[in-house]
Structure 1
């Protein structure tokens, strides 16, 4: 019994160690910073819009499966050769030609019409799939914008919080100089007001961060944790030249290609209306006892004789619609090329400005504030530090805005090509 207890204790200890290690790994995974790509993938998996577009595509495919089939046959019942005048009027037995009929009729649209219907159904499937691609591109970009908004607010708070210690130091220096008889009450009040103003800015940024978290939670379904502090927005997942040359492959243009295919299929269906449709019917007639029964077989064909004011009008209308879609497609292609070129130029411009902020403007502003505060500590006036301080705050806020604008332009360019097209 004692040996069993001794052997069980190491097993229990080992199991506890394994469970503890698994819990630690799970906790580490749960606390891992949320990257932009992880947020996009998680949001795509939870997006109701994509589920709706997938359901639309399924509905269109199901509808297309029955397109081009022959219509259902028609079962007919009737009376034939019933007299309506004379002594035997409305009697089913007074005339030997009277018969009760039962039959079936089958309409047979022309082969061209059925082929055109199948092509139109295929075009509708392509349009539904293109709408799904456009919706996925829009969702990816909107998730990225929500992530970037929160990321930019956190960068803004970090930039402002870095100045808090210096503001507190200036307030203590002004209070110490006032107590020592060297400073003035005006300087002490000014430094305290500067510190309070910074606290107000930080409180406003905290409110913006809460709002941005709600915006990202709308896509993730849960409250986002810590974001990854770094994200490379200086490199696109696809070459800039590819974006300019592959306009038709981009998600917004795929919808136009599908619309053009749909208009072409509609035109083919209008042209197919010039071909005659057929019908076949057969019936069996039962007459009075002692008389032979009758069988009837009929073949019908439509006669598109007046095509000038009927079918040709429909063809002309469909042709005009196809021409309009082609012209709109070309206009959309030019507009997309212009939008991409503008976005690329703006993205590259922000890249240069951000580099100048980091390399020149922010270090100069920091040195200016340090020198002004050192001068005040040495007995100089406070106003140079106040001016440098306010200029640095505005510069840091401008830098945060530049980071956000640069990141949003990156997102608008990075998700233009569908994932299956992006190299």
Structure 2
């Protein structure tokens, strides 16, 4: 028996080894494949515990809806009727011919309007849970995008500073050569070295920012963040600005308000249904002493909502006021969303204009100024103009990197307003 198992293991070992090698190769390929923004959002959405919690809330609401509007459970009754407590036959179960043991069942029958209102309320709660999931999905999309953008911006900032390292090394070499040749000063050599050290210090700080941003993206992906792919075109939105400003009701933040308004209407319908009478049916069997006939009792009951002024009407007025409050709050949220979208569009367009000015004017001017100052130093001029130009160049590049990040975040705030397929419950 052992030999047969060993033979089976030997026969299966090559296949298992091949499968393991394939899995390891696939994992290595996935780790090496640059991560795009869309793929990061897709993976982050698929792995977000918040969306799993929202889906569980929807399942719970649907389960509750399955029992909404059904008849309540019947009640079983048991007791003794016409039991004497005075006279010669007091406390005797067989002393009086009317005494009997009873066993019965009672069924409450709520009005049809009440059951339909209960079903409508359950459906509204499902809609509210689905709208909340849509809002949660939109928030997850935006937060994953912001995490990806933070890592991308940190990498761009490092690249912009790394491009200046070679010229810093060249400046140090030139100042030392002039010092050895007797035409330079020790102060210039020390200033060039200090500038190079300051640049290294800036790069080290950016490396820390990049490590923190990588941890932020890993929080959504679950795995260490791989190399990032090229960024999408942040100068173009997936939905036009005009459509975003005009169609605010389809945006995720307002879908939750629509569901709240439907829920308030369902509560009002249930309050109105309370004015309809409810019914009940009961039947019982009475067993009397031996030799005496048993009896059956059948009863039908109906509630009488006669005094509705201080009861049902008060509840209806309260639910009506609550529905009106939700409607007014919905309108205020609609106006606030229009304002937020308009501000976000202005922010996105403003950062885009600044980036264009950096690319077309400021950064090229910085490069020409630094090159001219270094060329003048080579020709015998002072080092201070180059130091001033280099500091301005570093500050402008850092500001440009921050503008890149702000522009991308403004883009993300607008790009994920409309619900996507991943948002659907």
TM range (shorter): over 0.9
CA distance in 2, matches of 1:388, 1:256: 54
> How far is the alpha carbon of 1:29 from its aligned partner?
4.8
Counterpart of 1:358 in structure 2 is 359
Counterpart of 2:91 in structure 1 is 90
Q: Write the deviation string for residues 327-373 of structure 1: whole angstroms up to 9, x where unpaired.
A: 00000000001000110111111111111111111101110000001
Counterpart of 1:247 in structure 2 is 248
- For normalisation by structure 2, the TM-score amounts to 0.93
> How far is the alpha carbon of 1:84 from its aligned partner?
1.0
> How far is the alpha carbon of 1:30 from its aligned partner?
3.6
- For normalisation by structure 1, the TM-score amounts to 0.93
> How far is the alpha carbon of 1:22 from its aligned partner?
11
CA distance in 2, matches of 1:290, 1:29: 89
CA distance in 2, matches of 1:130, 1:20: 44
Counterpart of 1:124 in structure 2 is 125
Counterpart of 2:278 in structure 1 is 277
**1:195-210 superposed matches below 5 A:** 195-210=196-211
**1:404-415 superposed matches below 5 A:** 404-415=405-416
Q: What is the aligned residue count?
A: 406
SS at match of 2:275: coil
Counterpart of 1:155 in structure 2 is 156
**1:61-76 superposed matches below 5 A:** 61-76=62-77
> How far is the alpha carbon of 1:231 from its aligned partner?
2.4
Q: Write the deviation string for residues 89-127 of structure 1: whole angstroms up to 9, x where unpaired.
A: 111111000011111000011111111000000000000
**Unaligned segments of structure 1, at least 5 residues:** 1-18
Alpha carbons 2:137, 2:422 under 8 Å: kept: no
Alpha carbons 2:175, 2:192 under 8 Å: kept: yes
CA distance in 2, matches of 1:382, 1:47: 55
CA distance in 2, matches of 1:312, 1:178: 97
Counterpart of 1:312 in structure 2 is 313
Tell me, yes or no, if structure 1 residue 301 matches structure 2 residue 328. Answer: no
> How far is the alpha carbon of 1:179 from its aligned partner?
1.1
Tell me, yes or no, if structure 1 residue 377 matches structure 2 residue 393. Answer: no
Tell me, yes or no, if structure 1 residue 334 matches structure 2 residue 335. Answer: yes
Tell me, yes or no, if structure 1 residue 59 matches structure 2 residue 60. Answer: yes
> How far is the alpha carbon of 1:244 from its aligned partner?
1.1
> How far is the alpha carbon of 1:193 from its aligned partner?
0.6
> How far is the alpha carbon of 1:229 from its aligned partner?
3.2
> How far is the alpha carbon of 1:174 from its aligned partner?
0.8
CA distance in 2, matches of 1:421, 1:156: 32
> How far is the alpha carbon of 1:142 from its aligned partner?
0.4
Tell me, yes or no, if structure 1 residue 258 matches structure 2 residue 271. Answer: no
CA distance in 1, matches of 2:377, 2:227: 39
**Unaligned segments of structure 2, at least 5 residues:** 1-19
CA distance in 2, matches of 1:237, 1:286: 79
CA distance in 2, matches of 1:220, 1:190: 45
Alpha carbons 2:131, 2:256 under 8 Å: kept: yes
